[in-house]
Amino acid sequence: MHNPALLARLGWWLGALIAVLFALFAGLWAWGENASEGVLLRLNERLSTPYQTDRWTGPWSALTTAARFNPFSAEYPSLQALAAQRIGSSRLAEAGISADVDAFIIDLYRRALNRRPHWGALWARLATLKAEEGATVPAVWAALERAKTFALYEPEVLQTELRLGFSLWSRLDAKQREGVRETVTFLLEREPRNVIDLAMAFGWVDQLRPMLSQARDISYLNQRLNRAELFSPES
């Protein structure tokens, strides 16, 4: 026969154990969240202060520990990737964190995307990283297209397409160029000065000029060109 008192006692202990485990998990999760809060700010402060440039290991360790306690989060590997980019390859290699830092950062991005595959902004960052590494245009554009699929109108994705489109323009095919022009047209209606500034920075003025229809935008471009000529070393 079953002992009701014993069963009740076992039920109580089981409930208490579940409550303790839940509280422990919640505490670890909250600890991880707090450990990562402001970590990039602290890294930036230390990396930009000459006498603190070697003091990045503390924030990095805190971020790594937080990631360990949140194994299903996509945020932490993405934060680690951003932090690793700001710390720099030489520091990370000297610290023995990774001999191939670029591959290490890409692996962090892929880890985050495996956990959150629809994160458009992260696909855009991966596209930028691939471009900086000298990857082929198809490889860069494949990541960018994933970004556009999941977050077509997200500002970071749009800005990434402009930067990559302007910088890789001579190597883009007709379809890729048309996509860049469509994004330029879209943003000229919303952020014309930003588009013009980026075109100036990446030498895309000749392609942009025929696309300007507003007098204010044409005037702003001419002002930028005149200013650039005024401060040119050859002037």
Cβ partners under 8 Å of residue 160, min gap 6: 124, 125, 127, 128, 144, 147
**Does residue 142 form part of some domain?**
yes
Whether 9 is covered by a domain: the verdict is no
- The answer to whether residue 17 is domain-embedded is no
Query: Domain range holding 206?
Result: 137-235
Q: Is position 143 within any domain?
A: yes
Euclidean distance between CA atoms 7 and 24, whole angstroms: 25
Q: Phi and psi for 2 in degrees, rounded to 5?
A: -80, 145
Question: 153: which 2 tokens?
Answer: 């109108």
Same domain, 141 and 231: yes
Looking at the domain assignment, is residue 86 inside a domain?
yes
Tell me, yes or no, whether 190 lies in a domain.
yes
Q: Determine the Cα–Cα distance for residues 212 and 185; give it in Å rounded to an integer.
A: 9
Domain-terminating residue out of 86, 117, 148:
117
Whether residues 150 and 233 share a domain: the answer is: yes
Residues 143 and 230 in one domain: yes
Average pLDDT over residues 86-109: 86
Regarding whether 229 and 147 lie in a shared domain, the answer is: yes
21 within a domain of the structure (yes/no): no
Residues 214 and 149 in one domain: yes
| pLDDT per residue as tens digits for the range 34-90 | 445 566 566 656 656 655 556 778 778 888 888 888 888 888 898 888 888 888 888
Q: Are residues 94 and 149 in the same domain?
A: no
Find the mean pLDDT for residues 205-219: 93
Quick check: 104 pLDDT over 60?
yes
Q: Same domain for 100 and 169? A: no
Both 107 and 155 in one domain: the answer is no
Total domains, the chain: 2
- For 133-155, write each residue's pLDDT tens digit: 899 999 999 999 999 999 999 99
Q: What is the pTM of this model?
A: 0.75
Q: Are residues 144 and 221 in the same domain?
A: yes
pLDDT tens figures, 108-127: 999 999 999 999 999 999 99
Q: Which two tokens stand for residue 69?
A: 């306690």
In a domain, 101, yes or no: yes
Shared domain check, 199 and 155: yes
The first and second tokens of residue 207, run together, are 């392609």
- Provide φ and ψ at 103, rounded to 5°: -65, -35
- Specify whether 97 is located in the same domain as 152: no
